[in-house]
Amino acid sequence: MELWFTEHHTKNVRLSIKVDKQLFTKQSSFQRIDIFESREFGRFLTLDGYMMLTEKDEFIYHEMIVHVPMASNPDIKKVLVIGAGDGGAIRELCKYPAVEHIDMVEIDKDVVDACRDYLPSVACKLDDPRVHITYEDGLRFVRRKEDEYDLIIVDSTDPFGPGEGLFTKEFYGNCYKALTANGILVNQHESPFYPDDARAMQRAHYRIRECFPLSRVYQAHIPTYPSGHWLFGFASKGIDPLKANLSQWEKLELTTRYYNTDIHKGSFALPTYVKDLLGDENESQY
Amino acid sequence: MELWFTEHHTKNVRLSIKVDKQLFTKQSSFQRIDIFESREFGRFLTLDGYMMLTEKDEFIYHEMIVHVPMASNPDIKKVLVIGAGDGGAIRELCKYPAVEHIDMVEIDKDVVDACRDYLPSVACKLDDPRVHITYEDGLRFVRRKEDEYDLIIVDSTDPFGPGEGLFTKEFYGNCYKALTANGILVNQHESPFYPDDARAMQRAHYRIRECFPLSRVYQAHIPTYPSGHWLFGFASKGIDPLKANLSQWEKLELTTRYYNTDIHKGSFALPTYVKDLLGDENESQY
């Protein structure tokens, strides 16, 4: 028997992964959740048929969404994570002794429960005493907050479906308000390669730029996401990731498999066609 | 009707591209050559069923294999290109007024003829008066050369099939001999992501390192290659791409869509897992 999971990256491109078996499937109140077992990527999680993570390459996404902001400001103590029901971003955040409190706001409890059961290497730190989980729409949660978080990580699904509100100007404005004076907002920023993704990325980027005085974009190689070329948005009230003193991060001696202080700087060097999509402000200023 | 081209990136992963029609197919003396028309990627060339280039993303590969070495030494005058029958590397090289002579050595004349006919935006500079084409095995050609080229670009197929000899120690040693005192060797270096590719990459890298005093690796996002994470090898008798004076390149005012002087530096910043595969020497030394 051959069982293949196939995702359409566009109408005309599809990536297929051979599956050993389906471990879990559920239609939650928000989306369809599936977890599969595969030889090439280990277990992987899909929401509404879109790849969220695989055991083989999730370290790339989770390290890049967490360590870039954390290394940019060693004084981060209170963090809000929106989405991220799988726990991967939480796992990376829990590596920092200086972090005192993490609020995780996930709209879909079924995702968290499934990941606890079937993806323990990802969900392993959800019970860390610093982690406080709220099951609510991140958009609503953040509205009530003011001057509270040193870092907000938006680890959302794509800008359609349940994650749609997390790409609006209202949401970014509320994040700005919820952040402390040194606050940083990081979000997954889609891919620049396929035209529809690039337009969604561009729209979200312009909205963030209207809300924050400093806004940069960085990139990573994530083989199981469409095109493999993935962007992250870094916005702040002033902290510049390219002026960070990275020797402090080195002293922590954390174990990482993708992120390092060379990558920290190098990931902000964007191809010309991506710079053109983002507008002139995104000079990496080496 | 639906017509899909499918490439297995491993036994368990495949990328499929919707095809409008097949424009060309031929079994040459060396390999099967196909050119397809597609909505997403424009025309694309495959050899023995492996993706070589698409009109949509070939600029990434060709700019990165040419401009990184060319910007590292503005005095490059004589260049040897091995493989590259499509003409993409030649097109980028011809942008440099200082380049006086380009030898292109391609084993398979049928590839060149097919690209001239069906991929004119790629093959467009093959008739530049500085370009001299020899149809021969690159391995044999380079054996006869000594102290002749400022740059050798190895734009080969994978390390099996017709391109196999271009990943051997004997070949790298002959390249060293064929290069001038400031000589640079650049080659396509496979992907670090899937284990079989990574092992082939590692083997080739160690062989190059035994032959050249300076050896670095840089990366690019190439969506239609396996994993989308592609490496290039930069080896030289002394010229260091990270110490190049890139302002000279800026002054040329060449038009590029991927390469820029930020990317020049940033592309040498490798993920930790790739550094581990390559060994400690590959510090990017920002």
The string of pLDDT tens digits covering residues B69-122 is 999 999 999 999 999 899 999 999 999 999 999 999 999 999 999 999 999 999
Closest-CA distance of chain B to residue A283, Å = 9
What are A156's two structure tokens? 């959302």
Query: A201 and A224 in contact (C-beta within 8 Å)?
Result: no
Whether residues B259 and A270 touch (CB distance < 8 A) is answered with: no
What's residue A164's pLDDT? 81
Confidence of residue B157 (pLDDT cuts 50, 70, 90): confident
Smallest CA-to-CA distance from A261 within B279, B273, B285 is with B285
Mutation for A interface: B43, B197, B225, B229, most A CBs within 10 A: B229
Phi, psi of B280 (to 5 degrees): -65, -25
Mean pLDDT of B145-161: 90
Question: Counting Cβ atoms within 10 Å, is residue A235 exposed (0-12), middle (13-18) or buried (19+)?
Answer: buried
Nearest CA in chain A to B2: A12
Q: Mean pLDDT, to the nearest integer, of A97-109? A: 97
Query: Which residue on chain A is closest to B59 by alpha carbon?
Result: A273
Q: Tell me which chain A residues have a C-beta less than 8 angstroms from the C-beta of B38.
A: 12
Mean pLDDT of A15-42: 97
Taking the CA of residue B84 and the nearest CA in chain A, the distance in Å comes to 23
Q: Tell me the average pLDDT of chain A.
A: 94
Cα separation values, B79 from B101, B143, B183, Å: 6, 16, 10
What percent of chain B stands above pLDDT 90? 89
B58-278 shares the fold of B3-54: no
CATH, range A3-53:
2.30.140.10
Superfamily of domain B3-54: Spermidine synthase, tetramerisation domain (2.30.140.10)
Q: How many CB pairs under 8 A join A and B?
A: 131
Out of A16, A257, A272, whose CB is closest to B257? A272
CB contact under 8 Å between B260 and A266, yes or no, is: no
pLDDT tens readout for residues A124-135: 999 999 999 999
Q: What are phi and psi of A3, to 5 degrees?
A: -120, 120
Tokens of B27: 């079994």
Residue B21 class from Cβ within 10 Å (0-12 exposed, 13-18 middle, 19+ buried)? exposed
**B284 chain-A contacts, CB cut-off 8 A:** 262, 266
| Cα of A226 to nearest chain B Cα, Å | 8
Alpha-carbon torsion B167, B171, B172, B173, what sign?
positive
pLDDT at A286: 45
Q: Would you call B132 exposed, middle or buried from its count of C-beta atoms within 10 A (0-12, 13-18, 19+)?
A: exposed
Q: Which residue of A38, A221, A257 is in closest CB contact with B221?
A: A221
So what's the pLDDT on residue B283? 53
Which of A221, A228, A269 lies nearest to residue B266, judging by beta carbons? A269
Angle, CA B153 vertex, CA B149 and CA B154 arms, to 5°: 125
- Cβ contacts (< 8 Å) between B14 and chain A: which residues? 15-16
CA nearest to B122, candidates B75, B171, B53: B53
Tell me how far apart the alpha carbons of residues B151 and A164 are, in angstroms, rounded to a whole number: 50
* A284·B269 Cβ contact <8 A: no
Q: Active-site residue among A103, A108, A150, A155?
A: A155
pLDDT over threshold 60, residue B63: yes
Helix (H) or strand (E) holding A117: helix A109-118
- Chain A residue at shortest CA distance from B268: A266
CA distance B202 to chain A (A): 17
What does the pLDDT average to over A236-262?
97
Q: Do B271 and A260 touch (CB under 8 A)?
A: yes
More confident position, B279 or B76: B76
Q: In the prediction, which pLDDT does B286 show?
A: 45
Using an 8 Å CB-CB cutoff, list chain B residues near A265: 266, 269, 286
A102 and A79 in contact (C-beta within 8 Å)?
A: yes
What per-residue confidence (pLDDT) applies to B285? 46
Q: Is B248 annotated as a binding residue?
A: no
**pLDDT for residue A283:** 53
Lowest mean pLDDT among A19-23, A81-85, B63-67: A81-85
Please tell me whether A62 is known to bind a ligand: yes
CA of B226 vs chain A CAs: smallest distance (Å): 8
- Nearest by CB to residue B228, choosing from A228, A263, A272, is A228
**Residues on A contacting B at a C-beta cutoff of 8 Å:** 10-18, 38-40, 57, 60, 193-194, 219, 221, 223, 227-229, 256-260, 262-263, 265-273, 275, 283-284, 286
Catalytic: B110?
no
- pLDDT over 80 at A159, yes or no: no
Q: How far is CA A263 from CA A86, A176, B63, B224, B228, in A?
A: 25, 27, 21, 23, 17
Contact A108, A31 (CB under 8 A): yes
Query: Is A106 annotated as a binding-site member?
Result: yes
Show the tokens assigned to B236. Answer: 């030289």
**Is the Cα torsion angle B51, B52, B54, B57 positive or negative in sign?**
positive
Q: Which residues of A148-163 are buried (b: 16+ CB within 10 A; e: fewer)?
A: bbbbbbbbbbbbeebb
How far apart are alpha carbons B196 and B160 in whole angstroms?
A: 12
Q: Which of B194, B227, B272 sits opposite A257 (nearest CB)?
A: B272
What is the pLDDT, as a whole number, of residue B161?
72
Q: Specify the range with the lowest mean pLDDT, choosing from A30-39, A142-151, A191-200, A226-235.
A: A191-200
The pLDDT, as a whole number, for residue B28 is: 97
Tell me which CATH code domain B58-278 carries: 3.40.50.150
Ranges of H-type helices in chain B: 58-72, 88-93, 109-118, 120-123, 138-143, 169-178, 195-211, 247-252, 261-266, 272-278
Quick one: which of B259, B237, B220 has its CA closest to B71? Answer: B259
Which phi and psi (to 5°) does residue A271 adopt? -60, 155
| Whole-number average pLDDT of chain B | 94
Query: How many Cβ atoms from other residues are within 10 Å of residue B173's Cβ?
Result: 16
Q: Which of B34, B57, B110, B155 is catalytic?
A: B155
Query: What are the extents of the domains in chain B?
Result: 3-54, 58-278
Of B17, B263, B286, the CB nearest to A262: B286
User: Is residue A253 packed enough to be buried (19+ CB in 10 Å), middle (13-18) or exposed (0-12)?
Assistant: exposed
Q: What pLDDT, on the 0 to 100 scale, is given for residue A279?
A: 86
Q: Which residues pair with A46 in a beta bridge?
A: A34, A51
Find, in chain A, the residue whose alpha carbon is nearest to that of B230: A221
State how far residue A68 is from chain B, nearest Cα, in angstroms.
Answer: 13
Chain A interface mutation, best of B21, B57, B197, B262, highest count of A Cβ atoms under 10 Å: B262
Residue pair B269/A262 in contact by the 8 Å Cβ criterion:
yes
User: Residue B280 pLDDT more than 90?
Assistant: no
Letter for the amino acid at A112? V
pLDDT at B133 over 70: yes
